[in-house]
Each structure stands twice: as C-alpha cells, then as structure tokens.
Chain A
Amino acid sequence: MTAAISYAVWGLLGAALLGLWAFSRSADSPVARPAVVVQRLATGPLLRLALVAWWMFTGWHFFAR
C-alpha cells in the first residue's frame, strides 16, 4: 500500500513534468521552455557550476556507482 502511494506520487510528478513541458511549448506560454531554463542555468555564474555538478553526479551515480 505504501509503495503504491509512493509510485503514485512519482507518477503525478512525472505527469506534471510532461504537462509543464507541453504547456511551455504552447504559443504565448508564460512558462519558459526547457531549453530556455537550461540556458538560464548555464549562463548564471554560480548556477552553471551547480548544473554541471548535478549532471556529472547523476551520470556517475546512475551508470557507474
């Protein structure tokens, strides 16, 4: 039962992610597109360091360790 709730919440979060992605691509959307979000992060003096560190960590954690 607990696992079902956990997976349901993960599913809702995933659906929200896809929904926000789709909404951001609609005409005149007030939400930034994913590529713009990445560009904003990659052009921030400190945010870009966090972004690169996060990308490196996820790859290492998921595929190597």
Chain B
Amino acid sequence: MSQGLFGIHGAALEVRAQRMGMLGSNIANAATPGYKARDIDFAAALQARLGGADADVAAGSAVRYRVPVMPSLDGNTVEMAVEQTAVAENAVAYSATLDFLRGRIDKVTRALRGE
C-alpha cells in the first residue's frame, strides 16, 4: 500500500538516510589512523531495495570503499572536501525526495477532503 502511494520515493528516502549515517561516520573518523572511508552506491542500493531486499541488506550490499585522491601516510582515506561535497549532495537529494513525498501526500489529502 505504502509502496503504491509513495512509489520510488519511500525507498529513496531510506537509502538517503542510511547514506547520511555513513558519511557522518567518515567525518567522525577523519583523524583515525588506518580508517578507510566508505560510501553507499545510491543507485545500487535503491535497485536492491526495489528488488525486494531488506533496507539494511540493500544498503549493505551497496557499500563501497572510497578511492582516495591523495592517500595519507597513516592509512586514513577520509578527505574532508570529498566528504563535505557528498554530505551537501546527499542533503539536497534528501530534501528533493522529501518534497516529492510531500507532494504525493498533499494530493491524497486533497482528494480525501474532496476539494
């Protein structure tokens, strides 16, 4: 039912929220020696989720290690510029998805009220 009402956007919002957590983890570990930055391949995660996989399984199967632009001596691959850009991009996309959802809900609400 909710899949029919929200379409792709419910799943997209889930993946965006999971990606937000992953990027937060990267920023938290910016000073941890040997930490390897990770990211979620959004398209792959969404594809898996729409294919019927669980939210956690879908995100887990789409986790990729980041390839650093310039590796540091302590083995840490977090690059602040990269992470900040990813956070900004993810936040904008999250807002967009939220707007799509809001639009759908407004439409249904109006229909129910009979306006």
Whether chains A and B associate is: no
Q: Which residues of B contact A (CB under 8 A)?
A: none
Q: Which residues of A contact B (CB under 8 A)?
A: none
